[in-house]
Structure formats: structure tokens, C-alpha cells
Amino acid sequence: MPAANVSDLSQVHPLATVAEDVEIGPFTVIGPKVRIGRGCRIANNVTITGDTSLGEFNRVFPGAVLGTEPQDLKYVGELSYLEIGDHNTIREFATINTGTEANDGRTIVGNNNLLMSYVHVAHDCVLGDSIIVSSGAMMAGHVEVLDHAVIGGGAGVHHFATIGRHAFVSAMSGLRTDAPPFLICEGVPAKVRGVNVVGMKRHGHTHDQVAAVKETFRILYRSNSNFRDAVKELEDLCTVFEEVREIVDFLERMEQGRKGRFKELTRPY
């Protein structure tokens, strides 16, 4: 058990595993199956329960609730887990549920993510690294968000949707399909509207790479070509730019899925 960094007004279960340098504020409750790695700072009035693990140097702000049971009517008390990596920031009143048997019982949050206030991450979601989720955004069950994606405030993401790398889902959007990498989705229902130029530049993509993605967007979404013809037009760009190949591969998986969501093929019912 830790000593000086834990408030006397907190409730840390004796069976919890907490690194010695962790800070835990007053009125925070830590359950018996919780594991918290070194350098984490847990503010006041936080609840961390269930079979939940936090890696190193995470910050959790007041009112956040982590590791509660999945909000899924099929859940009947089986083992379920929440796994959170390193260097994440989880802001006020964010909620993250554990998983269900459909995803090996696991909800997973990677590293270096920012989940702003009132964000909801439902059961079986899998978040990669360096993702930003703005205040009030909600992810339904089985959503997957790949590295460097951004979800705007108040956006809603449908069950089993996948958000590609460097994709941008605009605020207040309702995303019912997968969101292709490097592109902007906006509206209710959300549609592809453009290229995430700002995001690409921020993460070091070159002028030529951005231009190639712009041309890919034009051919796929602003020409008269159907999808198969557009893919043929993009063959040369695919051989030169990994970003273009990634977009095409992603869209082909969407085509194989149901209702524009590739992961629907994994739905067990």
C-alpha cells in the first residue's frame, strides 16, 4: 500500500495494487481489483472499480468513473476488464466501462490519449494512441479508434464503427459508418467532407503526402467515378504513398462490412 501521497479521506481497498508514488485525492474510491502504475495522479472524487489497470503517468480528474460494468443487457456478471496504458489524461466526469465476452472481456485505452470532460467510452471499445476526444463525445460499444484520430465535442459514434488514423470527426456529428483515415467526417449522419490537412501537417506529413491525399479525396468523392473505377485511378498513387493505400484498403473493408461498418462482421448476434 502507498503512504504519503494518498489522502486520508480516500478509500483505497487493501487489495488494490498502487505504486508508491501515486497521488490519490480526497473522496476517491479505489476498488480491490484495481492496479495503478507509477507516476499516476488521481484527483478527488474519482471512482476506479472493477478489474481495471492503469499504466504509468496517467492523470485522472475529479468525477471520472472508470471500470464500471458494461451497459449491455447481455452482460450477466462474467469477468470483464478495463486496460488503460500510459500518459493518458482523463478529464472531469469521463466514464469508461469494462468489456464483455464479445471482445475477450476487455475495453482498451492505449497511450498518450486525451479524453476531455463528460466523454463516454462504452464496453469493448479499443482506443489506440495519441487520440483526442473532446467534451461530451460518446462512443457506443465495440468502437475502435485508431492512432491520432480526433473526435469533436458532442459527437456520437455508432456501435462497431471504426475511426481511421488521423481521421477527424467534427463536433456534434452522428457517425453511423466507419470514418476513413486522414479525412474529415461531419454532419448527422456524418459524411466525408474533406481532408484533415491540419492534422496531417501537425504530425509531420509532407506537402506531397497531403497533396496525394487531397487528390485521393477528389477522385473518390468529387468525381463521377464509381468506387471500383476510382480505385483503379488511384493505383499509381497507392504504389507511391502509403497514406493513399491506407485509405483505399480502409474503404474496401467498409464495402465488405454491413451498413458501412467493417466490424459489424464480428457481431456475434
Q: Would you name the residues annotated as active-site residues?
A: 123-124, 141
Q: Which residue carries 463521377 as its cell?
A: 224
Environment class of residue 194 by beta-carbon count within 10 Å: exposed (0-12), middle (13-18) or buried (19+)? middle
Q: What are phi and psi of 179, to 5 degrees?
A: -110, 115
Residue that has been written with the C-alpha cell 462490412 in this structure: 257
Strands (E), 86-201: 89-90, 95-97, 106-109, 114-115, 120-121, 126-127, 132-133, 138-139, 144-145, 150-151, 156-157, 162-163, 168-169, 174-175, 183-186, 191-195
Work out the number of other CB atoms within 10 angstroms of the CB of residue 114.
Answer: 16
Handedness of CA 13, 14, 16, 18 (dihedral sign): positive
26 cis-preceded (ω within 30 degrees of 0): no
